[in-house]
Amino acid sequence: MTDEAAAFVPGHVTGFFSAHPDEDSSIAGSRGAGVALSHGVDVRVVRGSDGNDVGVTLNGDPIDVAPVAAVLDDLDASDARVVAETPLPLGAGFGVSGAMALGTAYAVNAAYGRSRSENELVGLAHAAEVEAGTGLGDVVAQARGGLPIRLEPGAPEHGRLDGIPASPRVEYISFGSVSTEDVLSGDTSTLTAAGERALADLRAEPTTDRLVELSRRFAREADLLTDRVADAVAAVRAEGGDAAMAMLGDTAFAFGDGLSSAGYDPEVCAVHPTGATLRPPRLDRFER
């Protein structure tokens, strides 16, 4: 047990999804598929900070994130200081709130010696995210890494995952936010029907090309496509590539060099094959 611990959680872009609400937040969740990103969120937790230092910051600024507060409460760590850093924009479809909740769970568990298993920590963060209305499937995907396919919704004791075995380069560009809460609190029957179709088609051919194609189709069928993402997708397709929209943000993503070939100046990262991980305490002592 140390007084301080740090975790890294990959960002996650959902390409398509279906919503599966339930009164039990560990059963509630989403089916769908997406991409875990090497761009993610570093979360450092300091135990027993004095009153002035208690609280949560993101990139240096104080912030209220409901799922993080819920995780701190669940793990009895109200005197924690949570310091999160990320290059990803908040509210733009990268799962930053889920990553903060999951990273807080891993780091608090280590700093406070709570002796929870990974499934228990993922379950806490998933339930916190569902109850806050900020996401349905990012947490379990971020706990897995890679190109997660969410076969069954819910926390690890209920959900079931698969993945696409690939390691493509990823490009993305964000134009702004879409409110996850607004979409999830409205009528989700159309998007859920579209998401279930896309999942069945992806399972028949689990490749990155199909993931982008089905995600592009989903955004239109679910009536979620923004004008700027529609323009970006059209530009990428005109160059022979393919692109889709991040659920839920005014954000376009593509594999390979789709966006840059179309004249955009995207962020570039990799698929992150690893799920959320506790940072080794002293990396210099490792020989890899």
Closer by beta carbon to a second copy, 32 or else 145: 145
Per DSSP (E only), the strands in 47-101 are 55-58, 61-62, 81-85
Q: Which residues are within 8 A (CB) of 76 and not within 5 positions of it... i.e. 6 or more apart?
A: 112
Please tell me the distance from the alpha carbon of residue 208 to that of residue 88, in angstroms, as a whole number. Answer: 22
Verify binding: residue 156, a second copy, rule CB under 8 A: yes
Q: Which residues contact 51 (CB under 8 A, 6 or more apart)?
A: none
* CA atoms of 248 and 224, how far apart (whole Å): 8
Is 119 a binding residue for a second copy by CB under 8 A? The answer is yes
C-beta closer to a second copy: residue 120 or 129? 120
Looking at beta carbons only, is 33 or 184 nearer to a second copy? 33
Comparison of 101 and 224: residue with beta carbon closer to a second copy: 101
Q: Is 109 in the site for a second copy (CB under 8 A)?
A: yes
> Pick from 26, 38, 49, 226: which binds a second copy (CB under 8 A)?
38
Nearer to a second copy, 105 or 262 (CB): 105
- Of 43, 30, 41, 211, the closest CA to residue 138 belongs to 30
Q: How far is the CB of 122 from a second copy (least distance, A)?
A: 9
Does position 166 interact with a second copy (CB under 8 A)? The reply is: yes
Binding to a second copy in span 174-213, by CB under 8 A: 203, 205-207
Contact set for a second copy, span 58-97 (CB under 8 A): none
Degrees, nearest 5: CA angle 88-284-58: 25
- Candidate ranges 80-88, 93-101, 141-149, 177-185; the one touching a second copy (CB under 8 A): 141-149
Amino acid residing at 231: D
Helix residue ranges per DSSP H, 89-207: 96-111, 118-132, 138-144, 180-185, 189-204
From 172-180, 191-199, 222-230, 280-288, span contacting a second copy (CB under 8 A): 280-288
**Region from 66-74, 81-89, 156-164, 185-193 binding a second copy, contact rule CB under 8 A:** 156-164
Stretch that binds a second copy, among 47-55, 73-81, 114-122, 134-142 (CB under 8 A): 114-122
φ and ψ of 121, to 5 deg: -65, -40
Tokens of 89: 């924009």
Pick 91 or 195: Cβ nearer a second copy? 195
Distance in angstroms (rounded) separating the CA atoms of residues 77 and 83? 14
Cα–Cα distance, 55 to 83 (Å, whole number): 8
- Residue 198 structure tokens: 């896309």
Q: Kindly determine how many residues on this chain lie close enough to bind a second copy according to the rule CB under 8 A.
A: 41
**Residues 243 to 272 in contact with a second copy, rule: CB under 8 A:** 268-270
32 binds a second copy, rule: CB under 8 A: no
Nearer to a second copy, 35 or 222 (CB): 35
Evaluate the CA torsion angle 157, 103, 72, 91 in order and state its sign: negative
Binding site for a second copy (CB under 8 A): 38, 106, 109-110, 115-119, 121, 145-146, 149, 156, 162-169, 203, 205-207, 268-270, 273-275, 277-281, 285-288
